[in-house]
């Protein structure tokens, strides 16, 4: 067997760079100016508000996933599918909100700990809850998101930030309202149908 000898510089080119020291290239709360025709003040306000909406949307998405996994009872299958569908739609909102923050020159929240510190949605217990409680908890979370989204959309329109206004109204508000309707219908006082013996 023949062994080739490499000099140190050849090996260095094949060695992965790991544990390299790094610094933030854009700290959280600092803007990068992008040529989108909005002032720094408008972008700064939008980023700040959108990060709050992002934190609450991530929390709502995760609440759907929690309840999706922990469901039980006669409506398990239908709600299991519905909660998963709504979670997926919330994931799309998370991405849209985070991308809008970046478009405004900001830094979007990304880590669970940061989300947990910032969200306005109350933290649920770790354990399993009754289906009715799960739905009520989701409806409360939606209401929080919708109230802040309406305020933010209005403020974005007043600032001339049409892109943020459109995203919030067209995506976040309209879809959250629809999800609320789908959820609320499960709390109508119709008794569960039982088969007679």
Residue 24 lies in a domain: no
pTM: 0.87
Residue 20 lies in a domain: no
Domain boundaries, position 135: 36-186
CA distances from 88 to 116, 141, 189 (A): 20, 16, 28
Residue 60 lies in a domain: yes
Residue 19 lies in a domain: no
pLDDT of residue 190: 58
Residue 18 lies in a domain: no
- Contacting residues for 169 by C-beta, under 8 A, at least 6 apart: 153
- Mean pLDDT across 17-45: 91
Residue 116 lies in a domain: yes
Q: Domain holding 168: CATH number?
A: 1.20.1260.10
Per the model's pLDDT, the better-predicted residue between 2 and 89 turns out to be: 89
pLDDT at 160 over 90: yes
- Please name the residue that has the structure tokens 């217990």: 125
Residue 173 lies in a domain: yes
Number of domains in the chain: 1
Digit-coded pLDDT (tens) for 49-97:
999 999 999 999 999 999 999 999 999 999 999 999 999 999 999 999 9
pLDDT at 171 over 90: yes
Residue 8 lies in a domain: no
| Nearest by Cα to 96 from 58, 64, 68, 62 | 58
pLDDT of residue 188: 87
pLDDT at 189 over 80: no
């Amino acid at each position: 067997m023949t062994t080739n000898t490499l000099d140190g510089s050849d090996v260095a080119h094949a060695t992965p760079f790991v544990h390299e020291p790094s610094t933030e290239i854009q700290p959280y709360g600092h803007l990068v100016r992008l040529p989108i025709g909005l002032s720094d003040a408008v972008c700064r306000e939008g980023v700040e508000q959108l990060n709050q909406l992002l934190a609450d949307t991530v929390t709502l998405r995760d609440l759907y996933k929690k309840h999706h996994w922990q469901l039980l009872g006669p409506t398990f299958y239908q709600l299991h599918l519905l909660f998963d569908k709504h979670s997926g739609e919330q994931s799309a909102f998370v991405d849209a909100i985070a991308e809008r923050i970046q478009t405004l020159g900001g830094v979007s929240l990304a880590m669970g700990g940061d989300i947990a510190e910032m969200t306005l949605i109350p933290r649920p217990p770790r354990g399993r809850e009754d289906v009715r409680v799960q739905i009520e908890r989701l409806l409360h979370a939606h209401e929080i998101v919708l109230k802040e989204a309406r305020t933010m959309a209005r403020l974005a329109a007043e600032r001339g930030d049409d892109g943020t206004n459109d995203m919030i109204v067209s995506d976040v508000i309209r879809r959250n309202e629809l999800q609320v309707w789908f959820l609320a219908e499960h709390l109508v006082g119709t008794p569960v149908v039982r088969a007679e013996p």
